[in-house]
Each structure stands twice: as C-alpha cells, then as structure tokens.
C-alpha cells in the first residue's frame, strides 16, 4: 500500500542516500495492488518488472481515469524539477489523499547520467526507486534499441556494398537462391517490398526479368542517407566519422556519424507504437534515404524490419517501478524533447488509465517546457493514442523566472548568482512573462492548467505570492507552492487538491493544427502561436525537403520541431517571452516510421559531449557492500 514517509530529515541528504535508505516494496505487491494479475507480469528481480499489453484487453470496457500532463516553463540549464514534481504530486495523490494514481515517465539516457545532468528519477523525497536501477540498465530497453538501430545501419551499408559489385541478375540469385529442386521462395519481408512495387506475385520464378531487377536493386543514393549509428554514451568524437576504411571494403568509404541512442527513430517508435503489430509496421516504414530516382527507401526494402521487431519485441512492455512512498510508476521509452517528441510511451499511459479507473489519476510527463514536449504531447502523442488530457500541471521556479527577467546566466556546476538567492520582485515580475505565455500555450489546447511553484530554500513568501497572483490572473485554474523535494508527498498535498479541483472543470481538448495543412502552414502555426515568432525563413536545403516530402506523400504527417529548450525561440539567448523574431529552418528530416517530420531550427546536436569534469568522477562501487555511490 502507498505509505507516508516518516523518516524525513530537515537537512535533505543526497538523492542516492535517500533512495538507498528506503526499502522498496516487492514489485509483485505493487503490481497486485495496482490491479495487475500475476500472469500479466514478467519479473526482473524484486524491484522492477515488465507488464503485458493484454491488461488493456482485459480492462477494455472499464472507464479511464483522469489524464494529466506535467510540463514546465522554459527551464534553466539546471532543470526546474518537473520529474520531481510529477513524482511528488503522485505521492501526494496516492499516499496522502487516498487516490488511485500512476506515474508515467521516460527512461533516462546513460549519456546525461554520466555527464553533467545526472539521472532523472526525481529528487529529494520525491523519487522513483531503486534510483540506481532506474538510471542505469533498467530492463535493457535502451540496449535493444541500440542493437536494432545499428543492425539497420549495418544492413544499409552491406546492401550498397554488394550492389556495387553485382548486376541485377546476380543480386536476384543471391536474394532468392534456388533449392535443390529449383524452387525459390520469398521471405515475409520480401513480400512487403513486392506489394510496395505493385507486384502481385508470391513465387520468385514467376517474376519477369524487369520485375526481378526492380525487386533486387535498391540503388540507394549515399548522399541521401539519414540513418546513423547510435550509442548511449556522450561521445563527441563520434559525431562525424568515415566508415569502410578496411582493406576488405574495397574502397567503399562513406562519411557518417553516431547519435545518442535516445535520438534514434526507433526510440520514438517505441514511444508511439500502440501494440506489436503497429510497432512492426512502423519499423518497416522507416525511411533511411532515397534511391537515385528520388524514391524513399525503407527498412522493409532493406529486408531487416522483421529482425528489428524481434530485437524490440520485449521493449514494448512498460517497465513497472515504484515511488519512494509506494505508488506505482511506469518507466517506459525516453525520446529527447528537443530533437524528438519527448514523451513516455502511449501504451504505458493507456494501461495506467485503465488500472486507476474513473476516480484515479495518471500523471504523464512531457519533456522540457510547454513549447516543447507539451506541444508535441498534444499534437503528436495524443493524435496517435486517441487520448485526451483532462488537465495540465505547469511547473515553475522563482529561479528560472528571475533568469527570464534578465538575471545573470545560470551555468550547470557553478554557484548561483546573488540575484537568485535574494528577494528581487522587479526581476521576478519581468520574468513572469515566460510563465504567462506558457499558461496561454497550455490553455489554447482547451484544458485547465494548474501552476506548481516548485519552492527552493531561498524563495520568499512575497515572491511566491507575486507568481501566484500573476498566474491566476493569466487564466491558470490555480497556482500552488509545492515543497515535495524536501517533504515528499506531504509537500504536494495542496497541489494535489488543486489538481483534483481543476479536473472537475470542463475541458475541450483540441489540436493546434489540421494534418491536411501543408508542411509550411503547420510550421508557421507552431512558430506564431507557440513561440511568439513573426515568421519562418527556409534555407535552400529546407525548401528542397519541403518539395521532396510533399512529392513523396509525407506532407500530412504532424510536425516535431527540433530546437533549443532554453528559449521560446530558436535562439537560446532570447529569454522571457520574445516576439517578432523570424525562425530559421535550416533543414527538415522525416521520421516516417515514428510518424512525424522534424524541422531543424538552428544548430541541433544529436550527440552530446562530455565536459572537463563529468559526473562519472563521482560514481563508484563500494566493493564491501556492493552499493553504488555518487550517482545523482
């Protein structure tokens, strides 16, 4: 059963000390109390498990609970405690207010975990535990994504290598070799390619010479390849590499690079797939580039999509864990919110909504600010899930609002300037422009918004009162101070009560744009209505991509803007609520399997680097006890 914390210390210890002092409940007990049957659970030790999607089928006639998305103002580089707020609010609802509740958050990348940011299990007395399991391997989903992504990358280069030295007849003979009796057969994935080509035949021997050539030769244009290898480590030296330099590759070299695993389209597919069949189809639809005639080449064409599905089959089951106060949590998928859509999985939310029932609450976190993960939650995730949120929680901190008012630069790893530790109402009021803009963003989707003022020790009562008054005047259903980091669920009880009240208000959820609009029209709406910009400027490369994707039939996909999370604009130096700026789109790429186009605004890195003093310096193992130390 959810339980209130009784051993809270006034001087809050480090996250890992708090987490290791807690005794997790057996995960099968968490599952049972959440309504999960033993046969719907695959245990991964005593504190984590995967749950079967069959829960949805069993509970398909049960009404859903209240669906809440947790977002934030535009953050500082330190983050504003959105995950901590999500967890603390869940603990308040479950352990203190007697509500059935589920927390749904993303699995973190090990890149930031060993870099500067650290883990993402929450913090203080509002955490997912065991935090070491959460922040490291968990159940291996990220490793499966890495393996699948890199198998496709290897298959692309192998196919081009072999086509280079073989004619069409030789390629067909190798792809469909005859048996001893002269018969041939297509593998299932080959039949998918034949259907795409419009060839309604299932016997290889019946193909005409022309059909054999069309089937066997992909003729990939290497200059169009967008698929890159991935690794779940911050490694700047892999951003640009040359492959094929070994003597056996016969001079077949190509410039490419690595992304971090969570940037892989396969991660986005895991988050957006609704079942195994849907995931299989999405993996097959992934476009890796074009042939020399300008036609898209997919993973199905390469012939590897079935194998990718085999590698990914267990990943689609959400990972069950618990908060420090014993409320259940799904930790599933982890796409970045600046270069992908930044939300945990659809299936986790769907299962959780059924398990909590009509009087329960599901809190799902959207990455970065309400211009980023929240906008993509509404326009991408909700389109594919069919779910409609009942409310939003918008996390704000006095610290970040002062920065938006013109405060000194906030740098990770460096002490805060005095402006952030002393009362300054003028600076704070100026910075509230960011909060007010994002309240408007959230309300434009037709749902009530509750502002959570995540309190820090130096915040004064006058500063909190100023933010609260401005937020309510701007249309927030309520604005409540929350001290869940220091007090756990007890510090978020008032926030929980405000959320319960807000969910009783009428909501009329609506999308920001119609998919029938053109690519440019959709981008323009996001820029003007979410960011406050005045227009969009396209590079020649972006203009080519608009034409290409429209011609290839991808123009009806939703838009997933790839931009900085440190500003409402494309420029991380523009703080507050800037307006009148023109957004530059330097390129547009297609994640057809995931189901969106992503315009690149400015320079976006898909592979982070390590600083001079990364977090891994502090991480070690106590060999006497086997305990991990220094993880944050």
Residues carrying an active site annotation: 82, 84, 106, 117, 337, 368, 456, 485
The DSSP secondary-structure symbol of 628 reads E
Backbone angles phi, psi at 361, to 5 degrees: -135, 135
Indicate if the alpha-carbon torsion angle 562, 597, 340, 227 is positive or negative: negative
Please give the torsion angle defined by the CA atoms of residues 295, 301, 302 and 308, in that order, rounded to the nearest 10 degrees. Answer: 120
In three-state secondary structure terms, 321 is: strand
- Which residue matches tokens 């981008």? 523
In whole angstroms, give the CA distance from residue 233 to residue 249: 27
Give the H or E element holding residue 608. none
Length of the chain in terms of residues written: 632
In whole angstroms, give the CA distance from residue 307 to residue 149: 11
The DSSP secondary-structure symbol of 331 reads E
Number of H helices, E strands in the chain: 24, 23
In whole angstroms, give the CA distance from residue 169 to residue 152: 24
Q: Which two tokens stand for residue 487?
A: 């007090």
| β-bridge mates for residue 564, sequence order | none
Q: Name the nearest CA neighbour of 70 among 507, 369, 404, 360.
A: 369
Number of Cβ within 10 Å of residue 408's Cβ equals: 12
- Check: CB of residue 488 under 8 Å from CB of residue 504: no
Number of Cβ within 10 Å of residue 614's Cβ equals: 17
Pairing mode, if any, of strands 49-51 and 296-298? unpaired
In whole angstroms, give the CA distance from residue 386 to residue 204: 41
In whole angstroms, give the CA distance from residue 627 to residue 133: 12
Q: CA–CA distance from 31 to each of 129, 355, 357, 390, 511 (Å)?
A: 15, 10, 15, 25, 34
- Check: CB of residue 397 under 8 Å from CB of residue 80: yes
- Which residue matches tokens 């010479």? 209
């Amino acid at each position: 059963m959810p339980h209130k914390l009784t051993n809270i210390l006034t001087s809050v210890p480090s996250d890992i000390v708090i987490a290791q002092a807690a005794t997790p409940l057996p995960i099968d007990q968490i599952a049972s109390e959440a309504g999960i049957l033993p046969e719907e659970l695959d245990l991964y030790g005593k504190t984590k498990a995967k749950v079967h999607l069959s829960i949805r089928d069993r509970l398909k006639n049960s009404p859903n609970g209240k669906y809440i998305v947790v977002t934030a103002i535009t953050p500082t580089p330190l983050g504003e405690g959105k995950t901590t707020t999500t967890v603390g609010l869940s603990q308040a609802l479950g352990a203190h207010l007697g509500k059935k509740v589920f927390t749904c958050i993303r699995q973190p990348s090990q890149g930031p975990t060993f870099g500067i940011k650290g883990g993402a299990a929450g913090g203080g007395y509002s955490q997912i535990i065991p935090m070491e399991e959460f922040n490291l391997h968990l159940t291996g989903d990220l490793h499966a994504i890495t393996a699948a992504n890199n198998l496709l990358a290897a298959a692309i280069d192998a196919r081009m290598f072999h086509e280079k030295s073989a004619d069409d007849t030789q390629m067909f003979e190798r792809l469909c070799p005859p048996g001893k009796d002269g018969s041939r057969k297509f593998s299932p994935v080959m039949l998918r390619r034949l259907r795409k080509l419009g060839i309604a035949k299932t016997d290889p021997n019946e193909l005409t010479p022309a059909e054999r050539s069309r089937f066997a030769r992909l003729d990939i244009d290497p200059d169009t390849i967008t698929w890159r290898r991935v690794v779940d480590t911050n490694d700047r030296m892999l951003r640009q590499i040359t492959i094929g330099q070994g003597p056996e590759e016969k001079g077949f070299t190509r410039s490419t690079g690595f992304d971090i695993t969570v940037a892989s389209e396969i991660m986005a597919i895991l988050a957006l797939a609704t079942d195994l069949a849907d995931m299989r189809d999405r993996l097959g639809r992934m476009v890796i580039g074009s042939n020399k005639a300008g036609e898209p080449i997919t993973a199905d064409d390469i012939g590897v999509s079935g194998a990718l599905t085999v590698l990914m089959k267990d990943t689609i089951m959400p990972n069950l864990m618990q908060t420090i106060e014993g409320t259940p949590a799904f930790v599933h998928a982890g796409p970045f919110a600046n270069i992908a859509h930044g939300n945990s999985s659809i299936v986790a939310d769907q299962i959780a909504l059924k398990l909590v029932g009509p009087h329960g609450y599901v809190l799902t976190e959207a990455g970065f600010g309400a211009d980023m993960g929240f906008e993509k939650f509404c326009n991408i995730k909700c389109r594919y899930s069919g779910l409609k949120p009942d409310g939003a929680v918008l996390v704000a901190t006095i610290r970040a609002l002062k920065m938006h008012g013109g405060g000194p630069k906030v740098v990770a790893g460096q002490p805060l300037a005095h402006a952030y530790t002393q009362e300054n109402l003028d600076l704070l009021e100026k910075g509230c422009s960011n909060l007010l803009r994002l309240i408007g963003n959230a309300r434009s989707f037709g749902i009530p918004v509750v502002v959570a003022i995540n309190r820090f020790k130096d915040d004064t009562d006058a500063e909190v009162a100023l933010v609260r008054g401005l937020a309510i005047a701007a249309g927030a259903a309520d604005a409540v101070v929350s001290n869940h980091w220091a007090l756990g669920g007890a510090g978020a009880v008032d926030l929980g009560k405000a959320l319960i009240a807000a969910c009783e208000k009428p909501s009329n959820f609506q999308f920001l744009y119609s998919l029938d609009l053109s690519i440019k029209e959709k981008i323009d709406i996001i820029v003007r209505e979410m960011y406050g910009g005045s227009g969009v400027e396209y590079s020649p490369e972006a203009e080519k991509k608009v034409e290409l994707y429209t011609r290839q039939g991808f123009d009806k996909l939703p838009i997933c803007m790839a931009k900085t999370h440190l500003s409402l604009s494309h420029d991380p130096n523009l703080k507050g609520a800037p307006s009148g700026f023109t957004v530059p789109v330097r390129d547009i790429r297609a994640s057809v399997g995931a189901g969106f186009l992503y315009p690149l605004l400015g320079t976006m890195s898909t592979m982070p680097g390590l600083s001079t003093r990364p977090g891994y310096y502090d991480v070690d193992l106590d060999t006497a006890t086997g305990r991990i130390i220094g993880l944050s």
